[in-house]
Amino acid sequence: MNIRLLTIGFTQKSAEQFFGLLAGAAVAHVLDIRENRSGQLSGFAKEQDLRYFLPRLIGAEYDIEPLLAPSPEIRDAYKATKDWAAYERSFMAMIDDRRAGDLIQPERFDRPTALLCSEPTPEKCHRRLVAEYFAARWRPLGHTVEIEHLVIPKPKKPRTPRMKPAGESP
């Protein structure tokens, strides 16, 4: 099976940017892997709002998967220490303890699926860890897994001509 696994965070994005990224990537399924899906800071990305907006705006299905959400203890430890390596180790151990790799099958990802979390970029977000975890499990089984992180493109800086030092010839 060819699996197209995307990731997206909703913070630092307008609703137009968020839904535009999903639509532009032809996402058919959004899998919410947050623990808190209804917090005040979620803005337009609250669970009940996404259940309404996704099918109507881009024709995508919305689903949740609590097995893939970090525990409050892991999040709190990271907030206190800012030790990303420790977070990764704790999170991956938790995923193994929960048997997520056995319980979540690749067939669930038979269409372009985006893992949803809150962080604006994937570098220090558990959604990247989840995508890499499943890719590592499923590729040896013969599945092709393409991971794509949906982020707002950084604006290109205009090139400014380099000033030549006095006395330098053209």
- Residue 159 placed within a domain: no
In contact, 50 and 27? CB cutoff 8 Å: no
Edge-to-edge strand list for the sheet holding 2-9: 61-64, 29-32, 113-117, 2-9, 144-150
- Residue 164 placed within a domain: no
Report the domain count for the chain.
1
- Residue 170 placed within a domain: no
Note down the domain range covering 8: 2-150
- Tens digit of pLDDT for each residue in 38-87? 876 678 999 999 999 999 999 999 999 999 999 999 999 999 999 999 99
Whole-number Å distance between alpha carbons of 56 and 65: 22
**What's residue 155's pLDDT?**
76
- Residue 32 placed within a domain: yes
Q: How confident is the model at residue 170 (pLDDT cuts 50, 70, 90)?
A: low
- Residue 168 placed within a domain: no
- Tens digit of pLDDT for each residue in 109-168? 999 999 999 999 999 999 999 999 999 999 999 999 999 999 998 777 766 666 656 666
- Residue 158 placed within a domain: no
- Residue 155 placed within a domain: no
